[in-house]
Structures are given as C-alpha cells and as structure tokens.
Structure 1
Amino acid sequence: MKYALVTAALAVATALSVQADEGQWQPYQLAELQTELSKAGIEIPGKQLADLSQYPMNAIVSLGYCSASFVSGQGLVVTNHHCGYNAIQNNSTKDNNLIEKGFLAKTLKEELPAGPQERLYITEQVLDVTEQVTASLAGLTGAERYEAIEMARKNLIKACEADPNYRCSVVSFHHGLQYFQIKQLMLQDVRLVYAPSESVGNFGGDIDNFEYPRHTGDYTFLRGYVGKDGKPAPYAEDNVPYQPTSFLKVNASGVREGDGILLAGYPGQTSRYRLADEIAFAADWQYPAMVKTYQQMINSIDRLGAADGELKVKYASVVKSHNNRMKKLQGLLDGFKVTDIHAIKLEREQQLNQWIKADPSRASYQQALLELAKVVDAEQTFTQQTYYFENAKRSDLLNAASTLYRLAQEQQKPDAEREMGYQDRDLPMIKARLARLEKSYAEAMDIELWSEQLAEYAAQPEAVRVAELDAALGLTAGMTQAQIKVLLQKLYAQSKLASTEGRLAWLGQKAEAFEQSDDAFIRLAVAIAGKNKALELQDKELKGQIAVVRPAYMQAIIAYNKEQGKPVYPDANSTLRITYGTVDGYPAKDGVYKTPFTSVKGMIAKRQAEYPFNLPQKLVDAYNQGKTDGYFYADLAASTESPWYCGIFTCPQAKKTAFNSVPVNFLSSADTTGGNSGSAVMNARGELVGLNFDSTYESITKDWYFNPEITRAIHVDIRFMLWMMQDVDGADNLLSEMTIVR
C-alpha cells in the first residue's frame, strides 16, 4: 500500500543524514533513506520497503504484544519461544507439561489451539489522518481535548472497521503531532505448531536474560487459520490454513560479521524525546518502586509454584513476563548509573533553549517547554498518588468484576459514546480474556499476590489510600499480610467468579443487577467504581493538557534537528517499524570485547544438570555425533579487523579463526526495544536469517538514549533453528513447507 503524504512539519525527518544505526523508522520513511540503506549493503530498494503490499513487508505480522512473520504459503508463522509461551502454557498441564517437553505437530490435525485471546494482525493500510483528528481541537485543553481526540479516533475506527474482519486503530506519532490510522486483517484462529523444549527455548532462563554471550533457541512456530471461505473466523475444527499474500524466504547460509541486516516488527514504547526531569523521576522513584513490586510478585509465584506443580504451570507465563520486566527495570537503573543520560538530556535541552532564544520567531517553542515542564510535574505527582491504589487492585477476580461492571455501565450509552475498550468491537476480546482465566488463575495464588500488595498499600500514608477500598475490605492502616488474608478468604467463598461459567454469566447484565448483587467481588467492584472514574477523569485532564504542549515541543525538536542535520523518527508506539544495522560485536567494558556469534559448542560447555542450563540429551548427542555438517551448517570466521584477542584494543595482526560449530545467537546494531521480540531479521535481500529476541544488558537504556558504541540486539540464528528442526527434533514436515535458499 501507499502512505499518505506527511505533514510539512514532519517531512524534514527523512531528508537528513542518518547517524549510525539509530532509528525505528516508519516504513514510508525508508523511501527517503536509500543512500543510508545502500551504505549498509541493503539491496532491497527503499521504495519497496515502504510499500506494505510488496515483499518482504507483506510477510511481517503482529501478535498484539510481539512480532512475527509468515514463512510459508499455508499461514505458518515464526516468532520467539517466549512470544508463543501463552500458547504453550495454554496446552500444558502438570501431567502433560509442553513447556518442559516441547511440542511438534507432524500434521495439521495435530496442531493445538493457541488460546481464546491469541490473534495474528496483518497490517495492510496506514493513512495519515492528522487533519481529521486535530481539525476540531482549536481552543480545547484538558479533558475536553482528550475526549475530542478520542471521539475523532472512534469515528475513524468505526468507518475503517466496516468490514468486521479488520481491526483498526488511530495512533499518535511524535507525541500527538501526527496521527496515523492502521488497518489490520485480524486472524482469530491461531494454533501452536512447534516449540522446542524450554531447556532450548529458554536456555539460561532469567539468569541469562539480557546477558551476552547468549545461547538461547528462542523460536516457536504458529499457524493462522480461517474459515473455508478464506475469511477470518473463530476457532473451528474444520477451519483451513490462511494463505498469505507473501511469505519470507529462509536463507540457510545465514549472515557473517559485517553483513548488513534489516529488522522489521512492532517495537513497543521508547522515551527518547522525554525531558531530563522525566528521566530523573523514573530513576529516582518510579523504576525502584516497580522493581520492588515485581520482585515481590515473582518471589511469591516461585514459592507457591515450587510446592504445587499445577500452580507452576498456570502461572508460568505470568512469572516469565514479570521476570523480564523486573530485570529490564533493574537494567535501566544500572544503566543510568553507568551513563549519565540525565546529564546528556539536560545538555541537549540547554542547546535547544539556546537555539530557541537565538530567534524571536521561536518564542512559542519556549512557552511550550515551560508549559510541558508544569504538566509533567503534575503527571508525576498523580503517578505517586495512585501507584499503590492501582497495585491494591491486583486480583484477577477483582479485575474481572470491575471489567464486567464497567462494561454494563458503558452499554447504557450509544456505542459511539462508550469508552474505548468497552465498545461492541471489544466484546470478543473481553470474553476471551474472561475465558483465558480458566488456564491462568488459582485462588491460592490470587490471594497471596493480592494480600501482599494490599499490605504494601495499607502501609502508605492516609493521603495515598482510598476510603472506598478501605471501607469495602475492612482495611485499616498498618494491617499485616496475614491479617489481610483472613479478610480476603471470605470474599472468595462468597463469589462465583472463579469459574468461567460464573464470569461469562455477567456478560449482558444491566448495571442495576451488579449494584444489587450479593457476589463479594461484584460488590467490591461497585464500591470502588466511583473512585476509579474520578481518577480516570483526572488522568484525562492531564493527558489533554499534554496533548497541547507535547506536540509543540516535538515541533521544536524537529525544527532544531533539521538545522543540525540529524534524523527525526517517532518514538516507538507498537506500530510497524523498520530498522537496519550490521552484524557486529561490541566493547562491553575495559578489556572485554564481545564477539558477534555464539555456538552450540559453547551452549554444551555451559550446560548443567538443572534448569535453566540443562539441555535435551538428543541435542547433545546430535552434536557429539557430528550431525553438524549438513545443509544448514557452515563455518563462520572472525574478520581480520575483529579484536578477538585484544580486549577493546585493535590487534595489529589479527588472524581469522574458524568458528567450527553451529551458530546459536548473533549480535547486530539494529535499533530495537520491547515488542520487537520475534521480529524478522533479514539479510540484504530480505531473506530470513534470524529472529530478534533480546538486548544486551548494556543496551537496556536505549529506550531513553541510543549509544551506537554499545547498543546491540541479540538474535537467534536461522542456522540453529534449521539444525534443530532437521537433526534434533525431526520437524521435516515444516522444513519441506518453507522455501529455503542459500
């Protein structure tokens, strides 16, 4: 498809010289980056990458929380093992634990439903709708401005979703300076096809998370299905594989050090245009508070899971997600200590201020900066005031009750006037979330996690606590977790929401039925609903104020960077992006240079008897028996420039060293963040050579600041995946389905 013309304020962004490999580019911008693509050795024309109807971009898909890509004409999709974890967990029990065993469907009939919430989203159209969203905003601020933007978004989405097979969104770019409408075909029937055992897909576990050298086979295969008419449909046994417009070729030769690569996916959120004060708040208060919360939950899940195998399986996906977030947050805090990003941002803000003051015509930018600082301060105060109350609602059953009651309230309004998330279009996903609890909820765990956070909440000053919650639960200041558990156990005994049938029975009920209910969790949801709405209105007021001043600030940044010859790309916002880079190692610290490839040889050397460093014996046997020199195996060599032996210092006469093993992981300088998990890593011709799955620990702060010297993404090598499929797991049926080239 073709992108609409961008606004004049943003058109400058791609006309500038690109520095290093920084940039999470919107596809349309690649048409203007041809010179830089050529320098990186990319053979695909930028105009082709900008067109979502052409190869390879028409093969890139989203799971809604991770990235993926089609690799066959029968809807076969490859993504990360950790991205397919929900699907694996959904089909696991204590007695048939597919997480531990792995899974391979040798036929279509053996493929398993991924779960009621799982979707595949295929982006087909992206349109600039800035004028439609902002046309009626003149003079509006605060909650009024927020609501006006939301109404414009809802109207556009409704028109876009005239065909119910599509899911549309209207997304802010450059923090409200521009809006794009994203139209995606939504496949509702997703099935698990193949996943290696956790000992391969999560080798090293949380110990190695964000670390390098890495030896993790983080890959899984799913498949999208449709009805017999070729249109998206809910799961049914007689559905047929979806036939995508295109799919990625797989290059079994992989890449070498110095090769240019493309990476396409759906990065989550970055904060590269935030103020220095926002970094200080994150480093000094927000991230430490979040680390404490996640660590508490992780400890509780691990403790209860160790004593009960069923609980361990049910909460496997939850604890994995918590561990990942917690380590990333800790990495951000450590990174802030190593690199003074706050000082870097302050210096840049001072330079921007000097540029603004140099020309009286830029006075409006100065006012925007002053106003932005005020609203940011108010936002931070709001975050501190509400943090513990939000955590005090961390019960799966309370969340279900609150969602159901809010839905009943919203359904009293015309659909167009309802809050986003509670419209008719949202009902299937709400129902799916309620049903999904069947596989991921247990009363004992819910009580443990909830009581722990309520004890933290009860320890806070009175100004932070919420009278409605205290009264409904009978909480008093300073109550212990043990005392709170006694209160909570009565609630669970007086509720039917623990069953899927009990939850789904409330769909379609009137608000009055909730208000007259004697179900303990429904009563609690009703009791705190007013406070929730009041805080929501306060949040809208702040967001509406931000929607005035943040876009003006971005205009100043774009104008300033234009004069400096620097690129301007939007912060990541979970929409389709392309980045490019080079296969390369990095100087991790004084005397330590980390090389770009790891191997099965190193993987086996690293193994231990217990998780997370145990390995399937069949993998070890295949390697030791020399089953490594087939179609999917090739030697790697370090280039003569690579300082393998000299730390961060260049060797005068470095020699090539044969890399006589199957490659497992490799590094590149591609610009990635959360959400890029599962992103296709492609060679210069757009052929699949790996999957993105992580960043190095030194790179975690790239969400705030991109340092080209040390920022590296970690990818699973296609050669390892193909070797596993051919010589270890026997996935010949999938190998024959894919188009494999050299």
Structure 2
Amino acid sequence: MRNLVAAALVFSSGLAFADEGQWQPYQMPSIADKLKARGIDIPAEQLADLTRHPMNAVVGLGYCTASFVSPQGLVVTNHHCAYKAIQYNSSKEKNYLADGFLATSMDKEPSAGPNERLYVTEAVTDVSAKVTDGLPLEPLERVEAIESRQKAIIKECESDDNYRCAVRSFHNGLEYYLIKQLMIRDVRLVYAPPESVGSYGGDIDNYEYPRHSGDFTFLRAYVGKDGKPADFSESNIPYQPKSFLKVNASGVKAGDGVFVAGYPGSTSRYRLTTELEFASNWLYPTDAKRFQSRIDTIEAMGAENAELAIKYAGTVAGMANRMKKLNGLLDGFKATDITAIKRKQEQEFMAWYASHGDAKQMDELKALIIESQQQYQTNYYFVNAQSSDLLGAANSLYRLAKEKQKPDAEREQGYQERDLKMFADKLKRIDKSFDVRVDKVLWQADIESYLAQPNRVAVLDEQLNLSDSAALGSKLDSLYGATSLIDQATRLGWMDKSPAEFEQSSDPFIKLAVALYDTRMAQEKAEKTLDGKLSIARPAMMKAIIAFNKDKGLPVYPDANGTLRITYGMVDGYQSRDALYKQPFTKLDGIVAKHTGVEPFNAPQKVLDAIKAGNLGSHKVDDLYPDARSFICKLFSCLDKPEAFGSVPVNFLSSVDTTGGNSGSPVFNGKGELVGLNFDSTYEAITKDWFFNPEITRAIHVDIRYILWMMDKVDNAQNLLSEMDLVRN
C-alpha cells in the first residue's frame, strides 16, 4: 500500500517552480505572485511590515528562532535550541534533560540562564550610503572606517538601553542594513519534553527522514513591572507581545502552501568555485575530524560521571549537529557533484561578464581569496591551541582591559560599554558548562594537533615549554592547579582591573594571555587588512553577479547572514533515490516501530502507553493523504476506510528554503497561522548552503498536532494550552 500512496502523491504534487530564496521581508511585494501561486493568502505587504502580525510575533534567540504563542509572553522554539536552558537547570537530582520539565504555574518557571535573550526585530533600515560613501582605499584604513561608521550608527540607534542594534552587511558588503531589536533579558524555562522525545533518534536520525522527533520547547519572556525589559527578578511579570500567533490545530496536508520566518545563519550561494573547493578539500574535513575527536572524548568521560555529562550535554549536541552537517555537505558534494555545477554556473557568468565587466577584477578577487585561505590555514591550529575555556576567558579579559584605555567609540566591537553586561553573563555561564578535567583533556588534544604541523608560534611554544612535549600533561596540570579563574567571582573581578594589574599577575592563564596578546593583535591586523582589500573586490563582483542573475530571470536575494528572512514552499515529499519516494508525513506509528528501549530510540513509556491505548483525542487525523486515498480507493474499494489512514502526524516535509539558524522558526499556513516548527533538513538537502536543488531540497518540521498531542494527552500541560489561541479549519 505504501508504494501506491507514493505513486498517488507523485501524481498529485510535484514542484511547479523552484521555491528558492531566503528573502528579506521588504522584498515580499516583489514576489507576491509566487506567494499567491503557492496558496499563501496573507498579503505580501503585510509580511513586509515588521510592526504587524505575524512578523512581530517572530523572535530571535541569537542562534535560533522562536515565536510568541500567547498574550502572556509564551514562546515556542526547538528543544535543541533550548538545550542549554534545560541543561542549565538540570542536575543529578533533577535531570530535566532525561525526564523533561513542566512548570504547572508561572511562579515555578526558572531562569533559562544569565545570557539567554529574546530579540524582537522592530525595524530594518538601509544605511548603505552612510557606511560606504567616500571610504578610503587603503585597506586597513578602509575596514576601520567601516567599523567606525557602523559603531556610530549603532550608538545612535541604541539611545534606549532596551534595544540592541546591529549594522549587517548584505551581498558581501554591497549593502548595509541597520537592524533594531527589542532585547528581552529575563527568559525562563516553561515546558520541555524529555530528550528521548525532543531528540528521538539522536545523531543517527539527525538530517535523516523519515523522522519522529518532538523537537519543541516552551520558554517565557519576562519584563519589569513597567513593561520594559529588565534583568531577572522574582518581581518581574510576563511580557505582553504586540501580537502572538494563532495555532491551527488542524495542521496542514500534502500540497498545502506554507512559509517560514526566521534567522538563517549563513549560506554561500554566491561564492566562487575555488571557495567551495577549499571548503570541500580542507576546511570541512578538518573541522569534522576535530569535532568527532572532541565528542568522543567528552562522551567517554561523561559515561563515567553523570554530572559531567550534564554539564557538557549542550556542547556535545552542538558539535554533533555541526559535525553531521559537515559530513553531509561532503557526501552531498560527491553525490551531486556540486563543484561541477558551481563551475558550470561560474563559466556561464564569466561568458556574460566578458562583455559586461573587467576580467582583471575577477583575477584580483581570486588572488585575494587564495590569500585568505592561506591565512586561515596558517592560523587555524594556533587558534585551536588556545581552546581552553579558562584561557579564552583570560584572553577576553585582558583585551577588555586594553580596550578600556580607549574612548568607547574607538573600542573594538564586543568590548564597548554596551557589551559589558553580556560579557559578564558569559563569564558567569562558564560554571554551568565547564569541568577542569574535560577542559584540560580537550585543550591538550588541540595543542598536540598544533605541535604536529609546521605553523608554530614562538611565544606559545615558549610559554608552555612545548619543546618538551612529553611533559605537556604535567605542565597543563600545573596551570589548572595554580589558577584562580575557576572561581566565578574572581573572573568577574578581573573586568575592573587595569592592564598593569594583568601584567603583574602570577595567575598562569592571565600570564599566558598577556604573553599572547601582541601576536593575537598582529594576526587580527593582518586579517583586517585583507578584509579591507576584499571589501572593495567582493562588492564589485557581487554587483555584477546580481546583474547577471537578473538578466537570466533568476531570484536575487542576499546570502543568509543571521538576519530576519522569509521563505515559502509547499508540503511535499521527494524522490530521495531510485525507487524510494519519501512521503511528506510521519506518524505516531513510526515512534513505536523504531522503539528499541535503547538510546536514542528509547521513547518514554508514557508516550508508548498513550499510543497503545489509542489516546489520540482531537489530534488524530483520519486522512493525511486525501488525494492519495481517493486514488487508491478507486482501485481498491476495500481500503475506502478513513480509519485505516488515521494517526497523529509527528513530522512533515516542505520545500521551503532554510538553513542553520532557522531552527525553531514558525511554519505558517497560508493564513499566517502556526502549523509547525522547522528543525532540520534532509541529508540530501544539506548542500543547499551552496546550491539550491528544488528536486531534493526539503526542510523537516515538527507537526503542531504532535506538539498539541504531547501537551494534551501525555504531559497534561493544560495550563499552557489554555493560554494559546487554538483554531481549526
């Protein structure tokens, strides 16, 4: 029957056109016809307006996306996005990672951590002319002028301390936009399923499909009694957002149009072939090897110490996700030969460019890219050889002391007065994800990798006496044994000390940071000088690439850069390989079928019991594939029984164009109602960071009906359901 369902879906769906593009909201009116063709009825002009629903309900976490779903500041995002908040509140006695967490009332909602933030984008303004007009040509002066202008624009924007502003580069420096965001500083944990739900299938299923992950968690935004953002306080009250999303409990079906709003991190679709080859041949394999080694080390140590495992759970999860993505990119490059595709595209562009541009500019850009790659490779192992959390803190603290000698406007970004609160919170957070034993072993491994390659730095070798590598372990033991930076109060105290006090310190990590400072600054200067050269070459080439794409009628949108974007598509499966069609929905039945009782396929007993009892309630869907069933039942009348198709949908696929940072993004139906959460991509689609292939590019979403079923029938989160505005078709 499965093959018949797949055949029917092939007949009833299929992509009429490529749903490519991570569009800036202001661009929505320019693609209104494409939205309409996908069945998205909400006006494009409304999506372009960040002060109106639903865009003002979409929020950033700084690394993921979330959305308001109640008038009391309730926020939903992915479980893996809230992982560190769950870990922050976990202990051996109360392991919320393993057991899940539900606050049955607001007074039981704990802080998600001192540096957790919610960012509500309220305005995006084109400031290209302010940043780029009349820039000097000398490379270092140029990049410093760009930074200076960005800081001046940001300072003017942040006249109200409740806002966080940033000036971001688009199209490789061709354009600059000012992003103004309300920053909510009191974020609390509300409800998280156990990891055996939130990450069901673990790393084995990561980037795979079919998938059965309940990757969702609820947080809440709190503010002071005056309604303005404030630091954590028991007297704070829930934030009342300007709008929140209606939740459509009927969900979606195959062929429905959907759109996603969120903060995709980074793509490289306009990069040159030589950059793809560098990533494929050196960068990705090198990073993946390092991540795997670090994961293996932490997991081995964590297997013998539960408290240590909890402390590093978020770190391991982040590295595992990144490592599998890197391996997926490498596999995808081979399977689809993305390099050949990019090379062909580049040849087409160069043929056009021959009569529209200056070939010398392309040669100059390629030379600068090669120089940049060589610079990165030269510094790579030296940077990793400073990977200790304590050395990282010491480096940052000494840099802060040096920067504080300058007027605030001249300080490096990250060390200005506006940054000090988050700087301190980062120092505090170390306690929850740090253990001397793990830090030392990981650092030693990075130093040994540094020792095995030729790009050595004399000052590091001298300070750690690396000429005697056999004694490295005991040398590091002495550093950790003599430092006081393990103590949080001591770390915070160094924020107020002068450079002279650092230079007179006997703390071994402080001494090492002081000794490395000049070398680190020289490397930073060299990097900025090269950035200055690229700030001329890349925008010029990007301008030509945009003109080329417009001539061909291709979509023109900026590469992802962590700013708010909208992408659209449809609920649809795909042909993953010969004779294997992957249907767009998975169901509860798949959880039971995969269950082994052994991690990561160890579904909680309460979930299995609810499924076995048929306790599905109103969340059950009798007909996930109505068109397919109609087709099948014309052939086999005996199958014309809706109950034969009924279950609760768990995950679903769509053709929306997403990448890292879109995790937790709300998935909307055509009316702008919440129908799911984006959390992953299929393995075949990972290469979309470089090339969008509409035939196989699919994003994976948690179905809202599974979230509601978990809340209603498994975890009894009725207090939260009563807050939400649930609607049905």
Q: Distance in 2 between matches of 1:131 and 1:641?
A: 54
Does residue 230 of structure 2 align to residue 233 of structure 1? yes
1:674-718 CA distance string (max 9 Å, x none): 000000001000000000000000010000000000000000000
2: CA distance between counterparts of 1:653 and 1:299? Answer: 54
Q: Corresponding residue for 1:591?
A: 579
| 1:421 alignment partner, one of 414, 424, 443 | 414
- Is the 2:357–2:544 Cα contact (8 Å) retained in structure 1? no
SS in 1 for 2:79: coil
Structure 2 counterpart SS, 1:127: strand
More displaced stretch, 143-152 vs 155-164: 143-152
Q: CA deviation at 1:659?
A: 3.0
Residue 187 (structure 2) aligns with: 190
Amino acid at match of 2:363: L
Determine if contact 1:71/1:247 at 8 Å carries over to the other structure.
Answer: yes
Shift of 1:639: 5.2
User: Is 1:276 paired with 2:273?
Assistant: yes
Judged with a 3 Å threshold, the aligned counterparts in structure 2 of structure 1 residues 653 and 614 are, in CA distance, closer, same or farther, namely: same
Q: Please report how far the alpha carbon of residue 631 of structure 1 lies from its aligned counterpart in structure 2 after TM superposition.
A: 2.5
Equivalent in the alignment of 1:10 = none
**Structure 2 residue matching 1:363: 3-state secondary structure:** coil
Q: Secondary structure at the match of 2:326?
A: helix
Match in the other structure for 1:469: 460
Task: Tell me the equivalent position of 2:649.
Answer: 663
**Corresponding letter in the other structure for 2:707:** M
Other-structure match for 2:724 = 738
Q: Which residue of structure 1 lines up, in the alignment, with residue 687 of structure 2?
A: 701
For the 8 Å contact 1:259–1:582, the answer to whether it is kept is: yes
Alpha-carbon shift at residue 344 of structure 1 (Å): 1.2
What is the number of equivalent residue pairs in this alignment? 709
Which residue, 663, 667, 683 being the options, matches 1:677?
663
What is the DSSP-based 3-state SS (H/G/I as helix, E as strand, rest coil) of the residue aligned with 1:311? helix
- Helix, strand or coil: the match of 1:559? helix
**1:652–1:401 CA distance, 2 compared to 1 (3 A):** farther
What stretches of structure 1 move > 4 A for 4+ residues in a row?
Answer: 639-645, 651-658
| Structure 1 SS opposite 2:619 | coil
Displacement after TM superposition at 1:129 (Å): 0.2
* Secondary structure of 2:494 counterpart: coil
Whole-Å separation in 2 of the counterparts to 1:513 and 1:376? 41
Q: What code does the residue aligned with 2:54 have? A: P
Match of 2:202 among 194, 202, 205: 205
Aligned residue for 1:112, secondary structure, equals: coil
- Show the counterpart of 2:324: 327
5+ residue gaps in structure 2? 1-15
Contact 2:88 2:432 in 1 (8 A): yes
1:525 has 2:519 as partner: no
Specify the SS of the correspondent of 1:593.
strand
Deviation at 1:637, TM superposition (A): 3.1
- 2:499 corresponds to 1:511: yes
1:271–1:655 CA distance, 2 compared to 1 (3 A)? farther
Within a 5 Å distance, the mapping from 1:147-158 to structure 2 comes to 147-158=144-155
Mapping 1:531-570, distance limit 5 Å = 531-570=519-558
Q: Given the two structures, how large is their TM-score scaled by the length of structure 2?
A: 0.95
* Matched AA of 1:634: V
State the secondary structure of the residue aligned to 1:274: coil
User: What is the letter of the counterpart of residue 684 of structure 1?
Assistant: G
Per-residue CA distance 1:530-552 (angstroms, 9 max, x = gap):
11101101110111111111111
Q: Distance in 2 between matches of 1:369 and 1:655?
A: 62
- Per-residue displacement from partner, 1:72-105 (whole Å, max 9, x unpaired)? 0110000000000011000001221110010000
Find the partner of 2:591 among 603, 606, 610: 603
Once the two structures are TM-superposed, the CA of residue 644 in structure 1 deviates from its matched residue by 11
Find the aligned partners of 2:665 and 2:726 in 1 and give their Cα distance.
19
Partner of 2:109: 111
Tell me the amino acid that sits aligned with residue 441 of structure 2. Answer: E
Shift of 1:19: 4.8
* Counterpart check, 1:441 vs 2:434: yes
SS of the residue corresponding to residue 507 of structure 1 reads helix
* Aligned partner of residue 308 in structure 2, secondary structure: helix
Aligned equivalent of 2:447, options 451, 454, 458: 454
- Is 1:129 aligned to residue 127 of structure 2? yes
The alpha-carbon deviation at position 191 of structure 1 amounts to 0.1
| Residue in structure 1 matching 2:624, options 629, 637, 650 | 637
CA distance in 2, matches of 1:345, 1:203: 36
| Maintained 8 Å contact 2:620/2:646 | no
The residue aligned with 2:564 is 576
Q: Which runs of 5+ in 1 are unaligned?
A: 1-17, 646-650
Does 2:285 match 1:291? Answer: no
| Amino acid paired to 1:393 | Q
Pairwise CA distance, 1:114: 0.2
Pairwise CA distance, 1:141:
4.0
Structure 1 distance, partners of 2:500, 2:285, is 42
1:85 matched residue in structure 2? 83
What's the CA shift string for 1:353-396, capped at 9, x where partnerless?
11122x3xx233x3321211011000010011011111111100
Partner Cα distance (1:488, 1:78) in 2: 43
Deviation at 1:57, TM superposition (A): 0.4
- Normalised by the length of structure 1, the TM-score is 0.94
Provide Cα deviations, 1:389-433, integer angstroms capped at 9, x if missing partner.
111111000000001000000000000000001000000111000
Contact 2:196–2:600, Cα closer than 8 Å, also in 1: yes
Does the aligned pair in 2 maintain the 1:301–1:319 contact within 8 Å?
yes
Give the equivalent residue in structure 1 for 2:302: 305
Give the aligned residue type for 1:390: V
Given that 1:593 and 1:643 are in contact with CA atoms closer than 8 Å, whether structure 2 keeps it comes out as: no
- In 2, the alpha carbon distance for the partners of 1:350 and 1:644 equals 46
| 1:468 to 1:19, Cα distance in 2 relative to 1, 3 A | farther
1:315 paired residue number: 312
Q: CA deviation at 1:136?
A: 2.7
What is the identity percentage for the equivalent residue pairs of Structure 1 and Structure 2?
57
How far apart, in 1, do the equivalents of 2:149 and 2:319 lie? 35
Give me the whole-angstrom Cα distance separating, in 2, the residues matched to 1:467 and 1:710.
49
Corresponding residue number in structure 2 for 1:12: none
Judge conservation of contact 2:403–2:415 (CA < 8 Å) in 1. Answer: yes
1:166 and 1:378 map into 2 onto residues whose CA distance is: 38
1:476 shift after superposition: 2.3
Contact 1:141 1:548 in 2 (8 A): no
- How far apart, CA to CA, are the structure 1 residues paired with 2:261 and 2:522? 40
CA drift of 1:42 comes to: 0.2
CA distance in 2, matches of 1:238, 1:208: 42
Contact kept? 1:257, 1:638, Cα under 8 Å: yes
In the other structure, the counterpart of 1:44 is 42
From 379, 389, 396, the counterpart of 1:386: 379
Alpha-carbon RMSD across the aligned residues, in angstroms, is 1.7
Q: What SS class does the counterpart of residue 303 from structure 2 fall into?
A: helix
Contact 1:256 1:583 in 2 (8 A): yes
Q: Which amino acid aligns with 1:613?
A: F
Distance in 2, Cα, partners of 1:602 & 1:19:
31
State how far apart, in whole Å, the 1-side matches of 2:538 and 2:323 are.
29
Letter in 1 for 2:234: E
Residue in structure 2 matched with residue 4 of structure 1 by the alignment: none
Instruction: Tell me if structure 2 keeps the 8 A contact 1:105–1:193.
Output: yes
Partner of 2:475: 487
